[in-house]
Structure 1
Amino acid sequence: MRIVKTIALCLAALALPASGQSPRDLNPAMPLAPAKASTPVDAPAPGTGGAALTATDVDAWLDGLMPYGLESGGIPGAVVVVVKDGKVLTQRGYGKADVKTGKPVDPNATLFRPGSVSKLFTWTAVMQQVQAGKLDLDKDVNTYLDFRIPPAFGKPITLRNLMTHTSGFEETAKYLITTDPAEVKPLGAVLKRWVPHRIYAPGSTASYSNYGASLAGYLVERVSGEKFDDYVQRHILTPLGMRHSSFIQPLPAALAGGMAQGYEVASGEPQKFEIIPMSPAGGLSATGADMAQFMIAHLAQGGPLLNPQTAALMHQTANTPIPGLPGMALGFYHEDANGLNIVGHGGDTNWFHSDLHLYLDKNVGVFVSFNAGGKAGAAHILRGKLFDSFNDRYFPQPRPALPTAVTAAEHGRVLAGHYVSSRGSLTNWLRVVTMLGETTVVLNDDNTITVAALTDAAGAPKRWREVGPWQWQEVGGEDRLGALVKDGKVVALSPKAFAPIILFLPAPASLNAGWIVPALLAALVVMLLTALSWPIVALVRRRYGYRPQIAGRPLLLHRATRATAWIAVIVAAGWMAMIAVLSSDISALDGRLDIWMRLLQLLTLIAVAGTALTIWNAWTMARSPERKRLATAWTVLVALSALYLVWLAFSLKTMTFGLNF
């Protein structure tokens, strides 16, 4: 399962950090009241006291946290910037931008890749065009396109859907990220290459979409008449004085020398510059000092980028997937904590990991970026720790102890089961990853619940106790979990880190790994034993000179059964190899595996024909007057296994006409 988790992480490149948090709106929320299930349960009134938010104190605090975190986590370098009241409070570089040369991180000159934090620039560009009257948040996006998003669910996709990640697009992975400059194509050409299927009705389900964000960037390109990269340069970067930032990939020569090297871990080799073909989703390169100017502009009610009304619209909650948990603004997601209104975004490429947080009612912003994931995902842990510790140090508040709800056992039983991520693929072979990456919810003996996918920094599953109607708190921690319930059934659940953009949905029978995986393993064992028995039995017979009596059609069916078993084993191994290749080298998503996909599909078609012969062989054996019970039973078991594997191949969409995913 480690391979599955790794590829799932790769497919989530440019996605979200583990620290995204938020309740439903911009107003500081109150503690959960027993009679109001929709009230956020984690936001008492802002506390007072705490350390003074000064450059001296922040520097001392960061200097105590960051060097140790980088060294222990195997991360070469990082940049941290804090702004306050329209000015840079502090900007700190830690560690190395280049391990080999020893070049230190310089907040003014070292460029990092903010990943999906880039989307905030895209959404800002969109709101500029909304403000100018050239784009409408609630019009069908086809109004502005020179190609067409096919109809589905009887509803058009709007810009509001794109900005709240409720467009309904399934996940895309092919050509997501590459190191080949030849893959840098016009944005329109990238988007027209394949329009991902829509698997949810617009506005119905939060499902993070890089394609949707890139489509929004293309709308800006269409109505402005400027290439997206040029538009951002002219209307955002230049007005803010962001001279060391660019969406151009690869970087212009004037900026390339300042780019930090990206690593898996500090002791590893530096990696090639990552190219994001869907650049509005994650193509930015920027220094920490430049990111400070972007934060200052948004904190100043849009500054030179947006008027105050447009900025307020952009920052306020536009969608709340899970009542009482984080809400999604227009492009930003809420991270409200300690009674404060906080919006932000996170981003990940393969090698860079970043967060941006805006404390709207304190006029404070924080940006952090690392140039490696580090050991065991240390960068994700460290950036989450930085956010939580910053909140508690400078904006502390008491956290009332909430009693366990009397409905804990009842609701825990309803919640228990298998769930798949809303951010997944259902119409192509990545449906396999969606199924294998599902999580389970278990009701424990003490009426707490455990969600397998939600673990602490040590990798142990968190335990949750219900503290309000369909609201759970982490036992011994501060994390939150909520569920959306309709007609007494759970239709979605999510922790507050993901609630604005990704949900766990009940797994349908056709995607329920609880029975699919055991049945798959059993079928493969049967096919493997059948396949291996062919050469083994042949060698034994040859050794002892035994000649079986079977001949003619029965012999042909017998051999066809064993050949089908071999094909089934080879096909299963082939798909496992595909996942392994992609987990070790995500640049293999550039289409180089297409020929192998077609070969596996061809073998599967042969296996379909072979399955028919296997069933025929079982029927023949069962009707034979000389049948032996054990041999007949095994032949029937082989036929059933082959039939199941063929069904699974089609159910998991490994058999498709197209090669897009």
Structure 2
Amino acid sequence: MMSLRAKVSGVIAILAASMLSVAISAPASAQTNPLGYGSAQEEDSAADKPESQRAIEAATAEDEDLPALTKADVDAWLDGLMPYALREADIVGAVVTVVKDSEILTSRGFGYSNLESKTPVEGDDTIFRPGSISKLFTWIAVMQLVERGEIDLDKDINTYLDFEITDAFGKPITMRHLMTHTPGFQEQFKNLLMADPALYLPLEDILKSTPPPARIFPPGETPAYSNYGTSLAGYIVQRLSGESFEEYVERHILEPLGMTLSTFRQPLPAQFEPYMSKGYNSASEGEAQHYELVSGVPAGALAASGEDMGRFMIALLDRDPALMKPETWRQFYETIYQLTPPLNAMALGIWQLNKGDLRIYGHGGDTNFFHSDLNVLPDRNVGIYVSVNSTGHEGAGGTLRFAVTTSFEERYFPETITPVGPRLATAKDHGALVAGIYESSRTVATNFAAILRILGQQKISMNEDNDLVFSLFGAPTVWREVEPYVWRHVDGYERLAAVVNEKEELEYVTFEPISPIIHLTPAPWHRSSALWLPLVAGAIGVLLLTLVFWPVRAAVRWRYKAAFPHRGSEATAFRLVRIGAVLVFVFIAAWVYILLTLLADVAGLGDAFVAQLRIAQFTQIFLYAAMAITLWNAFIVWQSRQSVFAKVWSSLLSIAVLIIVLFAAFNGLLSLDANF
């Protein structure tokens, strides 16, 4: 499951970390390729040479220009990369597994699975938490039932449920929508992760005790990555099979593949505990954290060893008949839900992650403490899995796992890097259309967590060369238009695309590698951070100055023995308006506390958090009171003989409170909904 720290950006920019690999190890793109692989000129000249000469030149090129994908070379590369990377990222331990030609080429552990006891990570038997990579097991389980005729991908899912998902937008949700993350659900945080086993509920109980998240998009139209949708799919597997989801996966996926050190069961069964890595915030903090209990088991509860994940990758590459028939595998991989050509898209649950001309399928995954990435390269019969057991310095664990898989692919497969084409003549006009403020389709709209939508907005701008500039991980990256409404990252392989309607109006933007699961939509004016954050900052400044100068003015009067200048209603209004400012800050402080709690520990978002949330929701009464007070104060001041400055300031106070009220209203802070 995606960690909350990753969600806050709204765009899930953590999914695009691959370009940071150059900061960790030298990419293969820096190596020369004198034979010019892939050029028509080279192919024509090579055709005139004797076969023996071509074979010698190919072998020489492989030896001299490209590292050989062997256990010895991969191990040497990892030994040079991983210890340094873990140290720089402040991560306790990691596992890397590489498969090739239906065999585990290498499975290596680095760092520690238990920092206190200095227990090293072992590639063969140390268990990590792959997070949302668990979803691939869920989708295979679904396809097994599709193969048996028990699930129709295009039938209303209410057909298979014993509770109802109410229709919205005039359309029901289908299993195909769940598998492509297009059911239209908003994000949901409540009981996403738990720390206390006493609070843990089985899948059926958690789904029936928690109302479904609101539907904010029509089904099938907008990808919005959904843990809840995957949980629904897993529950359907459970109901139709007559087995618990955990039992079904054991019998029909784990056991056939020989994944003996893997389980979806929670809490972790005793036989796996000796092999389980601890999870950490960081190596420098050094404190082992709790075993995370994932309420939506099908969405992210897997625990698995590196070698077991290698066996799973082999099954994906071999299209293992022990799991599904060839036709079902073909449907799984080749049913592409392409909303934004030519960008990578979603298949039936598995993502296209193509890099340059290299075809890749895969999935990423995060819990609070574990961060993982899995890529399989079907044309090369190669796969790589990376998992780290710490969030690391400023979330470095999330970027490291993608950097390792990308560096691996750049090292051994030069087709990941293709030249950036020339800039189009339309770059200026199209860039001007795209430049703006955007929010993520994976978002919240109907409760207090909607505040994360505006806090996570992203800006796309245009430079003097008419290229787009879009920040990833705090660093600006440049994108050149290479096809109409398609831009290419000039220092990488990622593409960004905009979709416009018949009137040439912008509908959305997305970019690789998040294009299969998230769209960026232009932020409307009433939620634009460019407008509201400066307004809110100014409003807080006005209120704060009012409070600061209250005791200052009193001290000056005391020092010079001056009388208080107001009488009657003017005096009452003077004092009440400052109390009103205090009430506004009480409201703000309550919500800051709620948001800090939300971000600090996803595992704490249960009933106790709801009680705190209700208190914060109650403080909106203070906001309404402050609004009434400042309006009355402005009326009194303007009716009096006070100075022009006093009259203007009284108006500014009313406007400041109004800005806070509108900001809160537009961003969910006045909602009484506790289903978050």
The answer to whether the superposition gives a TM-score over 0.5 is yes
Aligned to 1:438: 457
**Of residues 385, 396, 419 in structure 2, which corresponds to 1:378?**
396
Does the CA-based 8 Å contact 1:523-1:642 persist in structure 2?
Answer: yes
Partner amino acid, structure 1, of 2:380 = K
**Of residues 357, 360, 364 in structure 2, which corresponds to 1:342?**
360
**Of residues 191, 212, 216 in structure 1, which corresponds to 2:229?**
212
Where in structure 2 are the equivalents of 1:239-638 lying within 5 Å?
239-268=256-285, 269-397=287-415, 399-452=418-471, 454-455=472-473, 459-486=474-501, 487-542=503-558, 546-548=562-564, 550-624=566-640, 626-638=641-653
Pair 352,14 (structure 1): closer, same or farther in 2 beyond 3 Å? farther
Aligned to 1:165: 181
Pair 214,301 (structure 1): closer, same or farther in 2 beyond 3 Å? same
Does the CA-based 8 Å contact 1:20-1:333 persist in structure 2?
Answer: no
Deviations 1:504-562 (A, max 9, x none): 11001121011111111111111122233444444544555544364444433333322
Alpha-carbon offset, residue 79 of structure 1: 1.3
Pair 12,549 (structure 1): closer, same or farther in 2 beyond 3 Å? closer
Where in structure 2 are the equivalents of 1:54-69 lying within 5 Å?
54-69=70-85
Alpha-carbon distance between aligned partners in 1 of 2:428 and 2:80, rounded to the nearest angstrom: 43
Alpha-carbon distance between aligned partners in 2 of 1:554 and 1:650, rounded to the nearest angstrom: 31
Does the CA-based 8 Å contact 1:449-1:465 persist in structure 2?
Answer: yes
Where in structure 2 are the equivalents of 1:101-140 lying within 5 Å?
101-140=117-156
Alpha-carbon distance between aligned partners in 1 of 2:211 and 2:318, rounded to the nearest angstrom: 39
Pair 132,317 (structure 1): closer, same or farther in 2 beyond 3 Å? closer
Alpha-carbon offset, residue 310 of structure 1: 1.0
Aligned to 2:16: 18
| 3-state SS of 1:199 partner | coil
Pair 583,63 (structure 1): closer, same or farther in 2 beyond 3 Å? same
Deviations 1:9-49 (A, max 9, x none): 4698999743689xxxxxxxxxxxxxxxxxxxxx999x985
Alpha-carbon distance between aligned partners in 1 of 2:240 and 2:17, rounded to the nearest angstrom: 35
Q: Which moved more, 1:113-122 or 1:286-295?
A: 286-295
Partner amino acid, structure 2, of 1:334 = Q
Task: Tell me whether 1:660 sits opposite 2:660 in the alignment.
Answer: no
Alpha-carbon distance between aligned partners in 1 of 2:581 and 2:409, rounded to the nearest angstrom: 59
| 3-state SS of 1:83 partner | strand
Aligned to 1:225: 242
Does the CA-based 8 Å contact 1:164-1:318 persist in structure 2?
Answer: no
Q: What are the ranges of 5 or more consecutive residues in structure 2 without an aligned counterpart?
A: 20-37, 44-57
Instruction: Work out the number of aligned pairs and report it.
Output: 631
Alpha-carbon distance between aligned partners in 2 of 1:428 and 1:642, rounded to the nearest angstrom: 21
In the TM superposition, structure 1's runs of 4+ consecutive aligned residues that sit over 6 Å from their partners are: 10-16
Deviations 1:82-130 (A, max 9, x none): 2222222222222211122121111222100000001111111111111
RMSD: 2.5
Pair 83,19 (structure 1): closer, same or farther in 2 beyond 3 Å? farther
Alpha-carbon distance between aligned partners in 1 of 2:18 and 2:190, rounded to the nearest angstrom: 26
Does the CA-based 8 Å contact 1:472-1:482 persist in structure 2?
Answer: yes
Pair 14,110 (structure 1): closer, same or farther in 2 beyond 3 Å? farther
| 3-state SS of 1:18 partner | helix
Pair 197,618 (structure 1): closer, same or farther in 2 beyond 3 Å? same
Alpha-carbon distance between aligned partners in 1 of 2:273 and 2:298, rounded to the nearest angstrom: 20
Does the CA-based 8 Å contact 1:240-1:293 persist in structure 2?
Answer: yes
Pair 206,16 (structure 1): closer, same or farther in 2 beyond 3 Å? farther
Alpha-carbon distance between aligned partners in 1 of 2:556 and 2:293, rounded to the nearest angstrom: 56
Pair 657,380 (structure 1): closer, same or farther in 2 beyond 3 Å? closer
| 3-state SS of 1:347 partner | strand
Relative to its length, the structure with more helix (as a share) is 2
| 3-state SS of 2:477 partner | strand
Task: Tell me whether 1:196 sits opposite 2:194 in the alignment.
Answer: no
Aligned to 2:54: none
Deviations 1:183-232 (A, max 9, x none): 31021221231210011111111111111111111111121121111111
Alpha-carbon distance between aligned partners in 1 of 2:569 and 2:10, rounded to the nearest angstrom: 52
Alpha-carbon distance between aligned partners in 1 of 2:142 and 2:168, rounded to the nearest angstrom: 24
| 3-state SS of 1:264 partner | coil
Q: TM-score, normalised by structure 2?
A: 0.88
| 3-state SS of 1:620 partner | helix
Does the CA-based 8 Å contact 1:276-1:283 persist in structure 2?
Answer: yes
Does the CA-based 8 Å contact 1:76-1:372 persist in structure 2?
Answer: yes
Pair 640,13 (structure 1): closer, same or farther in 2 beyond 3 Å? closer
Pair 232,10 (structure 1): closer, same or farther in 2 beyond 3 Å? farther
Alpha-carbon distance between aligned partners in 1 of 2:250 and 2:214, rounded to the nearest angstrom: 32
Alpha-carbon offset, residue 370 of structure 1: 1.0
Aligned to 2:168: 152
Alpha-carbon distance between aligned partners in 1 of 2:432 and 2:14, rounded to the nearest angstrom: 30
Q: What are the ranges of 5 or more consecutive residues in structure 1 without an aligned counterpart?
A: 22-42
Deviations 1:394-432 (A, max 9, x none): 322362341111111111111111100111111111111
